[in-house]
Chain A
């Protein structure tokens, strides 16, 4: 019985291939973007985990040399003899691969290399002559040393015994020492054994996976948006397929198929089709992720310094999540239809198009729902802090706009009908209103896509303007350079002073202020700072106060995280507090920053010297060669303003390349939703259009009117999308960005961009409507006549 019923249900798709195509492609598109984004996120997270396991990043306190000093083997032995449980690490680059040398005997057991001999079946003695790396890194490494491939090693890294790596890198120094969490009591203090070494606490180190959380959450939000747009297609197609098969189901029930059996069979059928769609979607997702991953990897490297693998792997976690969300989405879209089956009167006469007969009261109900949703979203943002609350507001805004759309369009069409001067236009507006329930899901999908595009492009373009202005402020010096030791620093200082040009020495250290890991800067205040820096908030003459050492300047990220603003006191060091004179915008940097003048900095950190310099000059090329020749600074340590700006802009553009790609894909999915809705509705249009044809309109006129209808509806959606998109941009700039990155951006408007986007959306709808309209124009008169012969 189940087979017979299943075959009968499936025969519907055979007779309506377009519907099954719409359904499967809807599921596929929804799954594709979601699983693509998940694949990228997972690949990145696996890389972070691998980095943590390989290098122990963010897990252990470290001993590092102070500025300009090194750790020798003697230092290490002295520390071990004094009872310090430490393990040495050496690192450097060979063939663009980071070689990390560790001591497996003293390494904490959570490190991958501590157990490398067991997990990779390497015999004890071979371990000291082997480099362990993952497959893609192994391909780039040209060495005579034995390589063992272990996919758990972080990308771009090869790990080996410390003596082997020292030999390969031709160095005998140690870069840092890992401190075991459990240390014996009564050991001597570090400064007594090695005063040139310092401890860097875990709190001072940025946790890459936490830093990048917001980036991945943003990607997920886009994936979810695309998934929602895809689901509109699924919902629309399922609704139509169920409505068209209502009579068939009624017949089955009357012929002895129980309600339970029918529900089981329908569910099996839809799940089988959803699985097919999901599998196609996962394959598409894999391709999308493979296409976007290099840009995401570049962004993460540029923004956060996080290395992620550029090769995508088919991991069960993401493809299973794609499959599950596709099935859950289908179940959601199906649930109301299943509920209707349970309420189906077996012998009641068929009510065609019942699913489309959504009344005005439904639209009003949707409008009320939208208002409630917006209110809840607002309350959520007020009551709860954090990125999730921000996304809840964003979601509420988008859904509210989508569900209120049909009511607004219906109202607008009623007005147009009222003012129509000829019977034809009166019919046209009334007929458009009648089509609204069938088209509303596709129009909502288009609204979501266009609004998201407007919102995100406003955010990105506003960010770009702010970022360019920020670069102009921050990168005012014509040359930037880094010295490698104190002597070079002193020599450069003297050299530049003798030239009589303005230069900006920069001292810095990583520390913890107000429980936040920050970069503390010591700067020499000059005209460049005074003329170029713009503050988000400041007291009068902040530079004057900073120059006399009576105040500090902090970046926005620090101010938001600590809730310390202009006038508040900041505890810079034990028993040393300064008020905040100004807050400066700092874009593209996840860390908090605190700035004091150079004298105060030198008093606090007397052994530190300026390692970075910004130099003002009219002839950067000549000065550059002078510095190289006279001071002996390496050419690679000097960068001119133009190159630095270009590099920063490249990171910026690549960061949003992924967002733009997802945006375009979402718009494509929405256009596809319109095409599918129009095509699936085309057959149902014949009984509605036949009387108009019989009354004297030609098929060509009817077809053109159908085309016009699609264009006008798309135009309305675009008009409604502009305020929705701008609201979205406001939320992105003032809520999401603040919570995700710690900075607030001013909002700029870009009317030409919106016009262009509107044109694309309307044109996409025009293209989508062309095929069904042509189909209608070519409908043979005999088919139109059948309507009157009651033979349909």
Chain B
């Protein structure tokens, strides 16, 4: 099992008092499995993604990523898990503007050690980025930037891929093309994918769909 969330609770303190965001959430994700996470704005999707990505800790419950209980880890240990086992794709792409496409793609994988160049070439080629490697993000269209972000995530060979509205900033055609390429690569690498989306069409392409309403799974 790649991801095991068990009885997760999380709330935030605001001026109005304690606001519960996640209430007793449990879910599992197996290698190669794809999962769509849907919900209204403010339903707790991003918080759940943060917890699944070892970026935040729950108030209660346990989080296991690739067999590691992250709730017992300190910041450095959690960072090591993120480096080794997790990759995240953001709606805003979050590419490093001062690095060219090649450096952006290799960046995360480099953090863990030497990069398998053959594999990089294959992923880059399948995403249609071979001609763009020397360009800087500012010279790419939104669709191209998101493909770079996907390539960067997959080159690091994560066990768990988290995607936060990855096609939210793209037009329908680009979104579809990017999604197809991402799913193809995920299937090839046996990576577990949890994807946050508002789109019914995108969600329909996943193995499973779950919905968050008022901090609870339905």
Contacts and interface: CB of A to CB of B under 8 A. Distances in A.
Nearest to B88: A254
Interface in B95-110: 95-99, 103, 107-108, 110
Contact of B103 (A11, A12, A254, A261): A11
Interface in A366-388: none
Given A251-B90, A347-B53, 9 more contacts: A11-B98, A11-B99, A11-B103, A251-B94, A254-B53, A254-B55, A256-B86, A257-B111, A349-B92
B210 interface: no
Given A256-B83, A260-B76, A347 B90 contact: yes
B82 interface: yes
A15 B55 contact: no
A250 interface: yes
Nearest to B86: A256
A257 B99 contact: no
B73 to A, nearest CB: 11
Contacts of B80: 256, 258
A347 B46 contact: yes
B157 interface: no
5 contacts: A8-B96, A8-B98, A256-B82, A258-B76, A347-B50
Interface of chain A, helix or strand or loop or mixed? helix
A257 B156 CA distance: 14
A261 B96 contact: no
Contacts of A5: 111
A14 B96 CA distance: 13
Interface in A7-36: 8, 11-16
B79 A257 contact: yes
Contact of A1 (B49, B111, B142): B111
Contacts of A350: 92
B54 to A, nearest CB: 9
Given A11-B98, A260-B75, A261-B79, A347 B164 contact: yes
A499 interface: no
B9 interface: no
Interface string B38-80: 0000000010011001010000000000000000000110111
B159 interface: no
B94 A256 contact: no
A258 B103 contact: no
Nearest to A257: B79
B79 to A, nearest CB: 3
B84 interface: yes
B38 to A, nearest CB: 18
A15 B53 contact: no
A14 B97 CA distance: 11
- Shortest beta-carbon contacts, A-B, top 10: A256-B83, A258-B79, A256-B82, A11-B98, A15-B98, A258-B76, A4-B110, A255-B108, A251-B94, A12-B98
Interface of A: 1, 4-5, 8, 11-16, 247-248, 250-251, 253-261, 346-347, 349-350, 791-792
Contacts of A4: 107, 110-111
A481 B141 CA distance: 90
B107 A8 contact: yes
A258 B92 CA distance: 22
A268 B35 CA distance: 41
Nearest to A254: B88
Contact of B94 (A13, A254, A259): A254
A1 B76 CA distance: 13
A346 B79 contact: no
Nearest to A258: B79
Contacts of A1: 83, 110-112
Nearest to B141: A791
A246 B216 CA distance: 33
Contacts of B86: 256
A781 B45 CA distance: 40
A5 B106 CA distance: 12
Given A8-B99, A11-B98, A12-B98, A258 B107 contact: no
* Interface-centre pick from B81, B94, B142 (highest chain A CB count, 10 A): B94
Nearest to A348: B46
Contacts of A259: 75, 79
Chain A CB within 10 Å, residue with most, of B86, B97, B103, B138: B97
Contact of A255 (B46, B83, B138): B83
Nearest to A4: B110
A68 B97 CA distance: 85
A791 B142 CA distance: 8
A346 B84 CA distance: 18
Given A8-B98, A251-B96, A349-B92, A261 B55 contact: no
A25 to B, nearest CB: 20
Given A4-B110, A349-B92, A256 B84 contact: yes
Contacts of B87: 255
Contacts of A254: 53, 55, 82, 88, 90, 94
Contacts of B103: 8, 11
A257 B84 CA distance: 11
Contacts of A792: 138
Nearest to A249: B96
B143 to A, nearest CB: 12
Nearest to A251: B94
Contact of B111 (A255, A347, A791): A255
Nearest to B96: A248
Q: Which of A247, A251, A259 has the most CB of B within 10 A?
A: A251
Nearest to B46: A347
Contacts of B95: 251
Given A8-B99, A11-B96, A256 B111 contact: yes
Contacts of B138: 792
A264 to B, nearest CB: 11
Which of A15, A255, A257, A347 gathers most chain B CB within 10 Å? A255
A153 B161 CA distance: 74
A15 B46 contact: no
Nearest to B110: A4
Nearest to B87: A255
A729 to B, nearest CB: 48
B107 A255 contact: yes
A346 B55 contact: yes
A484 B107 CA distance: 86
B209 to A, nearest CB: 22
Nearest to A259: B75
B151 to A, nearest CB: 13
A248 B98 contact: yes
Contacts of A349: 92
A11 B100 CA distance: 10
A255 B90 CA distance: 11
Nearest to B78: A258
B92 to A, nearest CB: 7
A256 B70 CA distance: 13
A761 B111 CA distance: 49
A261 B49 CA distance: 23
A12 B49 CA distance: 29
Nearest to A250: B94
B55 to A, nearest CB: 5
Interface in B164-190: 164
B76 A261 contact: yes
Interface in B109-140: 110-112, 136, 138
A258 B83 CA distance: 9
A791 B111 CA distance: 29
Contacts of A253: 55, 79
B97 A248 contact: yes
Nearest to B113: A1
A11 B97 CA distance: 9
Contacts of B78: 258
A346 B111 contact: no
Contacts of B55: 253-254, 346-347
Interface string B139-161: 00110000000000000100000
Given A4-B107, A255-B82, A256-B82, A346 B99 contact: no
Contacts of B92: 247, 349-350
A12 B95 CA distance: 12
